[in-house]
Structure 1
């Protein structure tokens, strides 16, 4: 790793400053979007440290449905990788880049060595707890919140236009594209959004927020989605 890359890495992960010499010997990897970094049941090759970009971590079912668990950005931690390294077990999810990404892979022996330092150990355990809270919220949302409310919430917070595909939204929500398409068409009929190719324009943000904050209940939409 070149000195500027090492400095950038330690800016994001200052708890590793005591491992500067060992880190300098590691390679910095640059990959494009939609690159598979790891997958379910593979052994964990190391602890990913991001300098730039983003990694989407998700679980897939046997029938091809996918549920996004969380995303990792520079300075953050991958819960699946750390859990695998802690337990010495295969990975329980897959990780894919969402765009051009730079990362360093901390080998398992160096990860265990770094855990011997209080600063890095506190960093890992603190982010581990934060990721667990995120996953608990995701489980609660999937189990108790209606799908139309979840979709409305997903559309908010991106400005007046969201450039994405129906399949990407389905993957994020852990459902199938056809259901997302039917719900979006219903939203369009109700004047909440306007649909175009890989673009969703928000027409009634207040209406979407009201739908997103609706009462928890049956995960099945209360109104027909067709």
Structure 2
């Protein structure tokens, strides 16, 4: 039986429904929970850990969108399930993560509960702002700012200043070439923003 549900709902009927209809799933670091093109049969509600949400095109090219922390759900999955579409994003665990799997049919069913309706509307609002920030970075910022934002977001999600990650992995998620990422990282190292190691990057300033 679930001991606690994040976010904390107070309506006992809603809590009873959540405990009855959801399943708790544990996924390990770097394990994929949802893939692009998957039929959406559940919506994830993070209880512990962090999910990284990535947009993936038909050729497998990726771009990092945002993170989901405990108490948060994925607006993209919500949108796809309500529209009857396949997943347009990939969800990957940053670390050992636990999520509640909410059947798609219950998402609209629970709209009769004020708390649930407010949670879903808040999820859309918060993710919309984050997506606008991503668009601004892509459209109006240089790649160095995109790279720094990406590294800071990954470091914050993992609660560490040191990331075990390759230049190629970063390039894949920022939809660019490895050589460009390597050049930018060397420049950032010269500016004392990062320290580069073998398949690792350490941020030298606060997250």
- TM bucket (normalised to shorter chain) is 0.7 to 0.9
Alignment of 1:1-226 (within 5 A): 2=1, 5=2, 7-9=3-5, 11-14=6-9, 17-25=12-20, 26-155=22-151, 161-165=161-165, 166-202=167-203
Structure 1 gaps, min length 5:
207-226
Distance 1:18 1:150 in 2: 44
Q: Which has the larger radius of gyration?
A: 1
Asked whether the 8 Å contact 1:193–1:202 carries over to 2, the reply is yes
Asked whether the 8 Å contact 1:161–1:199 carries over to 2, the reply is no
Superposition deviation, residue 193 in structure 1: 3.6
Asked whether the 8 Å contact 2:23–2:102 carries over to 1, the reply is no
Distance 2:91 2:152 in 1: 25
Count of aligned positions: 200
Give the alignment's TM-score, normalised by structure 1.
0.76
Q: Deviations over 1:87-125 (max 9, x none)?
A: 122111111111111111111222221112222111111
The CA RMSD measured in Å over matched residues stands at 2.6
Superposition deviation, residue 197 in structure 1: 1.9
2:45 counterpart SS class: strand
Distance 1:129 1:200 in 2: 32
Distance 1:68 1:16 in 2: 35
1:14 counterpart SS class: coil
CA shift in 2, pair 1:111/1:133, >3 Å: same
Structure 2 gaps, min length 5:
none
CA shift in 2, pair 1:95/1:154, >3 Å: closer
Give the alignment's TM-score, normalised by structure 2.
0.82
